Amino acid sequence: MRLTSRLLLRILIMTLLWIDRCSAVKWLALYRLKQKPWTQAQNCSKGYGLVPKQIKLCKQHLDIMSTVVHASLLAFETCQEQFANRRWNCSSINHVPQLTKDLVRGSREQAYVYAIASAALVHTVARACSIGVTTKCSCGSLPRSAPTGPFKWGGCGDDIQYGLYFSETFTDSSLSNKLKPKRSKKANMNRHNNRAGRMVVSQSLSVACKCHGVSGSCNIKTCWKSLPDFHIIGVTLKTRHALAIEVKTKRVKKKRVFVPLRPNLKTLGADQFIYYTKSPDYCSKDPEMGSMGTVGRFCDKNRSGSGGCRTMCCGRGYHTFVRTISERCRCQYVWCCYVKCDACTKRIELSTCK
C-alpha cells in the first residue's frame, strides 16, 4: 500500500512538472511557418506551441498573427546571430515546441530566450501598427512635451504602447492558470525576464526626423518616436545575458520575492535578467540539455575570450588547416550599365575544435 502511494505521488509530481514545462516559450515554433498568411481560425493550433489562452488570442487577432510569426523568426535569427561564436550558440530553440532542459531549469539561457521572445514581439507589433497591418492600432501617440529644437512633432511613429500591451498579453498568458497568475519560482522568473525584454525595447525608442522644403532644403523638419533595427536591440539583450544576476527567493511580508545571491548586491533592476540555476558548460554534445557541443566548431586561434580556440574548444585543442577560396576582385564600373570584376583566389587559415 505504501509503495502504491509513493508511486502515485511520483506520478503526480511528474505530471505537474510536465504541465509547468509546457507553459513556456513554445510559441517560438511559429518561426517554421515563415510568415504564412493567417486567414482562418484553424491555423491557431497547439502544433506550433500555442497554449489555450494563446490559441484564443490567435483567433481574436488573425490579422496580426503573421506579425507574431515574424516575431518568432526575428527572435530565432537574432539569437543565433548574436551567439554564433559562443559555446551556447542558441541551439536550444531549434527544438521548439519541445524544450531542452536548459530552458526549463532556470538558467541564464532561459532568461535570455524569454526576454528576446518578448522583445521581438513588442518590436514587430509596434512596427506593424505604424504601417497599418491591423485596425486594432495605428501610429504611436505623439509626445505631449514641446519640441526642444527647430522641428515639430508629426509623422507616424511606432506604436510602442500597443506593442507592449500585446506582447505582455500574449507571452504572459502561458504563465497563468484560468483565473490567476502562476506563482511558482519558475513562472515568476519567466515573468520577470519577459518584462525585462519588453523594457529593453521601450528604452530604445528614439527620435527620427524627416526634412521638408524646396529643392531638398530643410525648412521644415517633422519628427516622431521610432524603434531602431532589432539587431541593435539584440546587442543590448546579449549584454543583459552576460550581466544576468543569479537570485534566490526570500520571504518578505508574506510574499516570496527574488533577491540577488551575491551579498554585495542589494536590489534587482526591473530590466535586469535573472536566473537561479547555473548553466552547463556546453562543451559536450547533450541534446537533452540543448548543447550541440563544440567538436568541429570553427574558432579563432589568435583571439582570446569568446570565439577564441582556447575558450571554444574547452581545453581539448584544435585543428588548423588552409582552404583556398575564390572571390571577386579588381572590380570596375563599365559604361554604361554594369560592373566587371576579376576572379581572385586566396588562401585562408581556419581552425576547428578537436
Mean of pLDDT values over 223-229: 90
pLDDT, tens digit, 9 for 90 and up, residues 48-68: 889 899 999 999 999 999 999
Q: Look up the pTM and report it.
A: 0.87
Residue 336: predicted pLDDT:
80
**pLDDT band at residue 251 under the 50/70/90 scheme:** confident
Residue 36: predicted pLDDT:
66
CA angle 210, 213, 214 (to 5 degrees): 145
Q: Which residues of 209-225 are buried (b: 16+ CB within 10 A; e: fewer)?
A: eeeeeeeeeeeebebbb
Check pLDDT > 90 for residue 160: yes
**pLDDT band at residue 203 under the 50/70/90 scheme:** very high
What are the chain's domains?
A: 2-290 (no CATH), 294-354 (3.30.2460.20)
Mean of pLDDT values over 87-96: 92
Query: What residue type is assigned to position 123 of the chain?
Result: H
End-to-end C-alpha distance for the chain, whole angstroms: 54
User: Which residues, in sequence order, are CB contacts of 305 under 8 Å at separation 6+?
Assistant: 311
pLDDT, tens digit, 9 for 90 and up, residues 254-301: 788 899 998 888 888 999 999 999 999 999 999 999 999 999 999 999
Place of cell 525595447: 201
Mean of pLDDT values over 145-173: 87
In this structure, the dihedral spanned by the alpha carbons of residues 233, 107, 79 and 165, taken in order and rounded to 10 degrees, is -50
Whether residue 33 contacts residue 82, with contact meaning beta carbons closer than 8 Å, is answered with: no
What does residue 334 show for φ and ψ, rounded to 5 degrees?
Answer: -105, 120
3-class SS string, the chain: CHHHHHHHHHHHHHHHHHHHHHCCCHHHHHHHHCCCCCCCHHHCCHHHCCCHHHHHHHHHCHHHHHHHHHHHHHHHHHHHHHCCCCCCCCHHHHHCCCCCHHHCCCCHHHHHHHHHHHHHHHHHHHHHHHCCCCCCCCCECCCCCCCCCCCEECCCECCHHHHHHHHHHHHHHHHECCCCECCCHHHHHHHHHHHHHHHHHHHCCEEEEEEECHHHCCCEEEEEEECCCHHHHHHHHHHHHHCCEEEEEEEECCEEEEEECCCCCCCCCCCCCEECCCCCCCCCEEHHHCEECCCCCEEECCCCCCCEHHHHCCCCCEEEEEEEEEEEEEEEEECCCEEEEEEEEEEEEEEEEC
